[in-house]
Structure 1
Amino acid sequence: MQDTGIIILAAGSSSRLGTAKQLLDYQQKPLVQHAVEQAMSSDPACVIVVVGADAEAVAGTLVDHDVKICYNDDWSTGMASSIRKGIEALLNDHPLLTRCIFSVCDQPFLEAHHFMQLHENQLESQKGIIASAYADTLGVPVLFSNFYFPLLQQLQGDQGAKKIIAAYPDDVVAVAFDKGSVDIDEPADLRYLIQEMVSVSEAKAIIKKHAHFVRTGIKTLSESLGYTVAEQIISKYDIPGFRQSSMDGYALKFEDHNNRLEIVGEMRAGKQSDVTLLSGQAMRVFTGAPIPTAADTVVMQERVYREGDWITVADEQLTLGMHVREKGSEAEKGTLALAQGTVLTPAALGFLAGIGCEKLLIFEPPKVAIIVTGDELKELGQPLFFGQVYDSNSIQLRAALQKAGIETVQVFHATDDPAALEKILGQALLASDLVLLVGGVSVGDYDFVVQSALAQSVRPHFHKVKQKPGKPLFFGTKDETVVFGLPGNPSSALTCFYLYVLPAIDRMMQRPDSVCYSKAVTTVDYPKNSGLTHFIKAHSMEGKVLPLHAQESYRLQSYAQANCLLVIPEESTGIVAGEEVQVIVLP
């Protein structure tokens, strides 16, 4: 295809979708990147990408690709301006090309062989237009011979290639592209981008990539335990602000330590006036007290002989400067006291109090909404009737969030009605940074979570994970808000929280992982089929781990006794007693 250039139109604003379609994820890459890579794989003379709305972001996804970026400042006037810009760039760089193919960036099922089919059909038929056929129409990708280049440059407004196709029906060959009708124009179309099944590692990588919400706020020291510092802390003072004794003893000049010394007073902690020590003198000092001017050493009180107001040093190990804390030895004025990203432990708070820091800029926790779905759920305190169960998910998830340091949690209950769920989700998305939809995430007749999420323009990233429990797991984003669709079975929901939601929260709060991995030796055999990673409720102690009873996804009794999850990898067919295995230590 070295006689053919490919022009990808990617300048639109995606107004009906509400978000830049070019940047939507498909197969773990931006949709525009998918289109470009398929075009490049067909081995054309060149690939030109016309950008307009969100130009910098779109072009930024292609920096590692050998394509020409063509900026269309007039993109808002309609598609014709992008077609003209693309042809102009093509002829400037490759004036001898005899064909060009126009394509768009939002056809997820577009592949390299579609471009190659257009080219092959043109060579065979010698027709000037080779168009893709789908849904009773002809459209992109479409190949034009150079005869049509001037006509393409004359298009105006919203006129696209279809105008020329319709005007020259005798010079058109149709090539079947059945899935070409699938493009991403409206929120409902987002379902075509969902990865139906990903591995555990893929799911974690996708979440890590997209859970990047960060918000900062001011808190007092007493409110800051467990948070992460969002700025460098610079000491405003020398701490200590004076030379200080680290022992109860006597301050003296080291050059006098072999002489009999007169005690001329005492310095205690909190003393606000300074004195000067003369040769032949010593001063009684206490831990934390200032050192008199001219004194340079402190001898411990146990290492002297005292007779009235005189002492003799009896410390052969005494050295110059011993037991003296120099000014600024804890923190020097104007220097870094605590780095950004430090987790605030009790010791860190004590240190900051010691240097006079009253308030801190920290990474704030996300605001979370829990939406529990299901007509069968009843709140605690209400009587149960046939077919009903108590809602345990909101209780356990709220408790897990509280333990994770989340301060703001709203709980909503939605019936199995898509309109009602969509309305509640819309409210939650506006008020929250993280939304947990619980139940209704599978493929049953009354599972509406994915449908409602797409209707609210949530960008889907995956819908199922190769794991047990918790295979039906939805993950998506809307702007900066992260959305999880957790399974309704309580054990599955809690496992997915620990595996995926909690790491996302840790990332949002810029802190180390709350979930720890370790090794232990299993005490029993545990067979399984390959294909899914298993997370087994278990109890670990003294380097050994025992899988517990009641592993079914709806049962919490064994979870209440578990302190870890035993991990059996996707490819494994089970473990045997005495085998070393990976365990996830529950927080």
Structure 2
Amino acid sequence: MSRIQDIAAALAGYDPQALDVDGVWTFLRELVAPAVVQETQDVALFDALGRVLASDVISPFDVPPHDNSAMDGFAFDGARLDGVSGDLTLRVIGTALAGAAWRGTVAAGEALRIMTGAVMPAGLDTVVPQEFCHVADGTVRFPASALRRGDNRRFAGEDLQAGTAALHAGTRVTPAALGLLASLGLPRVTVRRRLRVAYFSTGDEILSLGDTPREGAVYDSNRYTVFGLLTRLGCEVIDLGMVRDDPTALEATLQRAAREADAIVTSGGVSVGEADHTRAVMQRLGDMAFWRIAMRPGRPMAVGLIGGNPSHSAVLFGLPGNPVAVMVTFLAFVRPALLQMMGCNIADAAPPPLLRARSAGAIRKKPGRTEYQRGFVQQVPGALPEVRIAGNQGSGVLSSMVAANGLVVLHHGQHSVAAGDEVDVMMFDGCI
């Protein structure tokens, strides 16, 4: 059997004409598992954003490297708090600044003015915040009840210990991770090479920008949407433009894409229309599955493998032609699959997390399919966020996608939603 057939045979209840969303996720995880990028690159830190770590990053030292103060105040031996019910007064003998260790000895009954991040001198274990203090005539006075011994002291190695993993292989480098890498003094890091993704639009009814408008034709928005989605994901994007409904041109474009890319994304031509040659060409060139997914929008979808050469097959995602359906299927299915191919760990390659919100209005829904409705989520003080349906929900209406900040996810077995009911929302932040 082919690989597609093997995966399908192992999937309980697999029906390509009525596949549920969970079944698509399971299938795609198996399909792309052998296609994870293995080549690595050594890159400067400024070039690492969005890349996937190829190996664990080991901390070369403790972080922080020494005990230090968590705030501006006065450091002292916390044993002085024992038995004191009122104010404690200590003599101030100097100031410890961040970035330079204070040299000296602090005796009993003495304190040291200290700045945030400054090294805690030996024998001192507690810092009283300066806002609790009254300073006069070389002394500091504060209520002993305001703190306990050990307060406001950061321990060496509290964040990371030398020799332990600061970041694990498969982690996608975020701005926070960049800062962590820099804090370890690492100017370079080893990452997997960027995933190469080729994409193109199909159809005689679409116009390229600059073409003269004609009756029945529309300008190709999908090419620009998919470009944005892939670029934001951190892929190396190969733009193959727009391809007419011509089998010869489609075949040549798919073969080129399979040679040059790890994955291919197309829009249009995966239904059963007479002019949809893409489906037939895909079947001839590769090991393909064609689905009717129990979802809205985005019911038709194709996935499979197309060989670029004897040792390499590109994973192909054939998306519907309607602009909103392209974005929904990309977010729900293609994005997690590409992240897995990039080498991301399971958590980073999962579909976007769902936010729980309260629906501002009623939403009609029949069980038996998953629906993704464009919505706008806003915060409500002291309560769950509220989500409102954003404009016309037609699968070709891009304006409501722009107005939305998330997709209301109405699950397979879910019925209609009443105003005030809780729903799940897939937020766009960082994706669209």
TM bucket by the smaller chain?
A: 0.7 to 0.9
Correspondence for 1:208 among 29, 32, 41: 29
- The aligned residue for residue 206 of structure 2 is 377
State how far apart, in whole Å, the 2-side matches of 1:356 and 1:490 are. 45
Are 2:374 and 1:508 aligned?
no
State how far apart, in whole Å, the 2-side matches of 1:305 and 1:517 are. 49
Are 2:291 and 1:448 aligned?
no
Correspondence for 1:556 among 398, 415, 427: 398
Q: How much has 1:340 moved relative to structure 2? A: 4.1
Deviations 1:541-583 (A, max 9, x none): 65454474352x43434433344445556678x7364484755
* Structure 2 CA distance for partners of 1:569 and 1:240, relative to 1, 3 Å: closer
- The aligned residue for residue 119 of structure 1 is none
In the alignment, is the contact (CA less than 8 A) between 1:374 and 1:414 conserved in 2?
Answer: yes
State how far apart, in whole Å, the 2-side matches of 1:347 and 1:368 are. 27
In the alignment, is the contact (CA less than 8 A) between 1:199 and 1:465 conserved in 2?
Answer: yes
- The aligned residue for residue 28 of structure 1 is 8
Are 2:269 and 1:472 aligned?
no
Q: What does 1:363-374 correspond to in 2, within 5 Å? A: 365-374=194-203
- The aligned residue for residue 5 of structure 1 is none
Are 2:331 and 1:498 aligned?
yes
Q: What does 1:159-558 correspond to in 2, within 5 Å? A: 195-212=16-33, 213-215=35-37, 217-227=41-51, 229-253=53-77, 263-271=92-100, 274-277=103-106, 282-301=111-130, 302-303=132-133, 305-308=135-138, 311=139, 314-317=142-145, 320-342=149-171, 344-362=173-191, 365-456=194-285, 458-478=286-306, 481-509=314-342, 510=344, 511=348, 512-514=350-352, 516=354, 518=356, 520-521=358-359, 523-524=361-362, 526=364, 533-539=370-376, 542-543=385-386, 545-546=388-389, 548-549=391-392, 551=394, 553-558=395-400
In the alignment, is the contact (CA less than 8 A) between 2:7 and 2:27 conserved in 1?
Answer: no
State how far apart, in whole Å, the 2-side matches of 1:484 and 1:252 are. 64
State how far apart, in whole Å, the 2-side matches of 1:281 and 1:571 are. 69
In the alignment, is the contact (CA less than 8 A) between 1:538 and 1:565 conserved in 2?
Answer: yes
Percent of residue pairs bearing the same amino acid type: 29
Q: How much has 1:299 moved relative to structure 2? A: 4.5
Counterpart amino acid of 1:585?
Answer: M
- Greater displacement, 415-424 / 558-567: 558-567
State how far apart, in whole Å, the 2-side matches of 1:504 and 1:328 are. 37
Q: How much has 1:424 moved relative to structure 2? A: 1.2
**Higher relative contact order by CA 8 Å / sep ≥ 6: 1 or 2?**
2
Q: How much has 1:394 moved relative to structure 2? A: 0.4
* Structure 2 CA distance for partners of 1:516 and 1:260, relative to 1, 3 Å: closer
State how far apart, in whole Å, the 2-side matches of 1:579 and 1:273 are. 60
- The aligned residue for residue 416 of structure 2 is 575
State how far apart, in whole Å, the 2-side matches of 1:578 and 1:299 are. 51
State how far apart, in whole Å, the 2-side matches of 1:280 and 1:517 are. 54
In the alignment, is the contact (CA less than 8 A) between 1:522 and 1:581 conserved in 2?
Answer: no
Deviations 1:75-126 (A, max 9, x none): xxxxxxxxxxxxxxxxxxxxxxxxxxxxxxxxxxxxxxxxxxxxxxxxxxxx
* Structure 2 CA distance for partners of 1:577 and 1:305, relative to 1, 3 Å: closer
- Choose 1 or 2 for highest CA Rg: 1
In the alignment, is the contact (CA less than 8 A) between 1:211 and 1:508 conserved in 2?
Answer: yes
In the alignment, is the contact (CA less than 8 A) between 1:369 and 1:412 conserved in 2?
Answer: no
Please give the secondary structure, in 2, of the residue aligned with 1:330.
coil
Counterpart amino acid of 2:319?
Answer: L
Deviations 1:316-365 (A, max 9, x none): 24655444333333322223333445554444433333232333344565
Q: RMSD of the TM alignment (CA)?
A: 3.9
Q: How much has 1:306 moved relative to structure 2? A: 3.9
TM normalised by structure 2 equals 0.76
